[in-house]
Structure 1
Amino acid sequence: MLAWKMNAQKQGYFTQDEWQRGLKALTVDTVNKLKNALSELENEVRMPQNFADFYSFAFQYCLTEDKQKWIDVECICELLDIVMGSQFPSQVALFTKYLKIQNDYKVINMDQWTSFLRFCSQLSFPYLKNYDTTEAWPLILDDFVEWMREEKLATAES
């Protein structure tokens, strides 16, 4: 979240400009004020208008090589848990379970990443009554829904 606020360009590294810009945006000038600002930053990130931006940033931030356009499934599972595990715990838990047992997808691209946020935000879960297979979902999400239905994880509401 701090990297998002600082608009950091490189994972694990802040330039002096990024650091200063971030501290100014947080209106902090001491370590104690920074510690206190982190809980407020968490609340800021959770606001719907900021979360989508943070979510996209998290993917971009994990791209460690020039021209890299994907992240391996193992890292995606960890990133999903960190970024949205507290907001969509059931969806993240089941999707990461699916990603770990399936054999068709080794990496996730930005389109698949952003579509998963839309999937979590727009669909009734776990019943998926409003999942429309004619809609333009990435194939990985169609496969995930099919897996859920085969596993009887997406069942009709009682």
Structure 2
Amino acid sequence: MRLARRGASSKAAQKDQATEKAEALFEEYKDPSDDNIGPEGVERLCSDLRIDPSSRKVLLLAWKMGASRMGYFSKQEFTTGIKLLNATSLDKLRKVLPKLDQDVDQNEDAFSAFFAFAFKFCLMEPQQKILDIETAVQMLHVVLPEGNEHLEPFSRFLKDQTEYKYMNLDQWTSFYRFSEEVGVDCSNYDEGHAWPLLLDNYVEWLSERRSKS
């Protein structure tokens, strides 16, 4: 019984120490007038981590922290996320982020969750449910791996077309599934698969471009 109690006490002490370190790190970057890390604090954190504030790593960090607002980390979000990543110091966080970047691309379920989070994270208003096309294109380039064969042509299509000014979550998540299942030549595209009309138009656009080349 004593050994069990010692073990429990040791775990509790480790947990308290991790919380203290996470909270101390939060205090370094929090807004002096608010109990959040705001845009300036996020920028300083990124500078200390030696990463671009607009990079995929920052978005991954926000995802792991369950951040609800772009450019902000609440105390609970930050400390909980830091402890979840087991990275309660800047040095540890620098080492974790590249691995997190690799791991999410190797786990389909994790990437699907991250991809959906990226869309919702860009919604600035409480009732907002759509992204303007320009923002959607920018985010696709942040979120998707460079090797995604549909990324560039789909981005060009979105910029060329005039029918859609906004993208909704169903179109966003369907494009990821489409890019995983349909070859770059779209020869295995099945119109009966109930894809969003946006993707039907994309396939038609691709076909027209190929016929002219």
* Larger relative contact order (CA 8 Å, sep ≥ 6): 1
User: 1:71 is matched with which residue?
Assistant: 131
Correspondence 1:6-155 to 2 at 5 A: 6-46=65-105, 47-88=107-148, 90-125=149-184, 127-152=185-210
Q: TM-score, normalised by structure 2?
A: 0.69
Letter in 1 for 2:133: V
Tell me if the contact between 1:28 and 1:34 (Cα under 8 Å) persists in the aligned partners.
yes
Q: TM-score, normalised by structure 1?
A: 0.92
Higher Rg = 2
Number of positions where the alignment pairs a residue of Structure 1 with one of Structure 2: 152
**Partners of 2:67 and 2:104 in 1: how far apart?**
16
Q: Percent identity?
A: 39
Structure 1 unaligned blocks of 5 or more? none
**Partners of 2:87 and 2:178 in 1: how far apart?**
36
**Partners of 1:78 and 1:143 in 2: how far apart?**
20
Return the structure number with greater helix share.
2
Letter in 2 for 1:28: A
What is the Cα deviation at residue 49 of structure 1? 2.0
What is the Cα deviation at residue 129 of structure 1? 1.5
**Partners of 2:176 and 2:131 in 1: how far apart?**
16
Structure 2 unaligned blocks of 5 or more? 1-59
Aligned-pair Cα RMSD in Å: 1.4
Task: Report SS of the residue matched to 2:98.
Answer: helix
